[in-house]
Amino acid sequence: MDGTTVVTRTYLEMKAPGDLRPVPAPEPVPRIDRIEHCTPTMFRYLYAEVGRAFHWTDRLSWTDADIERHLSNPGVSIWVMSDGATPAGYFELRVHDEGSVEIAYFGLLPSYIGRGWGKYLLARATQAAWELEPSRVWLHTCTLDHPSALPNYVKRGFQPVRQEVYTIGGTAGPRDSKNGQ
C-alpha cells in the first residue's frame, strides 16, 4: 500500500434564505458571537483544535502576519460559539466577488460533538451568511470530515451541486480537507 487516501469532496449550496431548515436552540443555549478583532492566537487555536481530527493542515504553518492579512479582508468574518467562557466551535464566512458567501470553515471542538450543537451552529452560520444578502450560500465538505457533516448540511437545506475526487498521502502528505491544498 502506498499510504494514499482517496477523498470525495462535495460542494453544496443554498439559493434562498427560505431554504434553511432551522433547529431549536439546545439547552443551555450557547452564545454565538462575531469576533471583531480575532487574534492570531485565537484563530490558530480554533483552526487547530476543531480541525485536528479532520486533517485541516494548510493553515497550521501560517505566521501571525499571514493570519492578520487574512483577517484584514473585510469579506472574512470569524464567529465563535461559546459554552460560558469556553469556546465550543466556530465558523468562518467569506464573501466572494461574484456575490456569494461561503461558509469556509465550520466545526466544533471535540468535547462538544454529539450534543446537537453542530446543527444549531450550522443554522446560525447560514443565517449570518444570508444577512449579508448574497446571491447564494455555499460550502464544501469531504469524506475526511466528521461523518455527520454531510447529513447535517443536507438536513439544514443545502443541496449538493458537484463532487470531486482526489487523493492525499503518499509523499505529498495530508492536505486540508476544507480546500484540498
DSSP per residue, 138-168: EEEEETTS-TTHHHHHHHTT-EEEEEEEEEE
Residue 113 lies in a domain: yes
Residue 147 lies in a domain: no
Residue 85 lies in a domain: yes
Residue 171 lies in a domain: no
pLDDT of residue 169: 79
* Domain region containing 97: 22-140
Taking alpha carbons only, the member of 84, 126, 83 closest to residue 108 is 83
What is each CA distance from 85 to 31, 33, 81, 88, 124, in whole angstroms?
A: 9, 12, 10, 9, 19
Helices 64-71 and 40-51: crossing angle in degrees, nearest 10, is 90
Rounded distance between C-alpha atoms, residue 34 and residue 20, angstroms: 20
Taking alpha carbons only, the member of 168, 35, 137, 152 closest to residue 178 is 168
Confidence band, pLDDT 50/70/90 cuts, at residue 59: very high
| pLDDT tens-digit readout, 136-147 | 999 999 988 888
Residue 163 lies in a domain: no
| pLDDT tens-digit readout, 107-129 | 999 999 988 899 999 999 999 99
The whole-number average pLDDT for the span 36-63 is: 93
pTM metric for this prediction? 0.90
> Per the structure, how many domains does the chain have?
1
Residue 60 lies in a domain: yes
We report the CATH number of the domain holding residue 135 as 3.40.630.30
Residue 177 phi/psi, 5-degree rounding, is -65, -20
Share of the chain above pLDDT 70, in %: 92
pLDDT of residue 55: 82
Confidence band, pLDDT 50/70/90 cuts, at residue 178: low
Residue 35 has pLDDT above 70, yes or no: yes
pLDDT of residue 179: 41
pLDDT of residue 172: 44
| Cell numbers linked to 139 | 460550502
Residue 91 lies in a domain: yes
Residue 15 lies in a domain: no
pLDDT of residue 38: 96
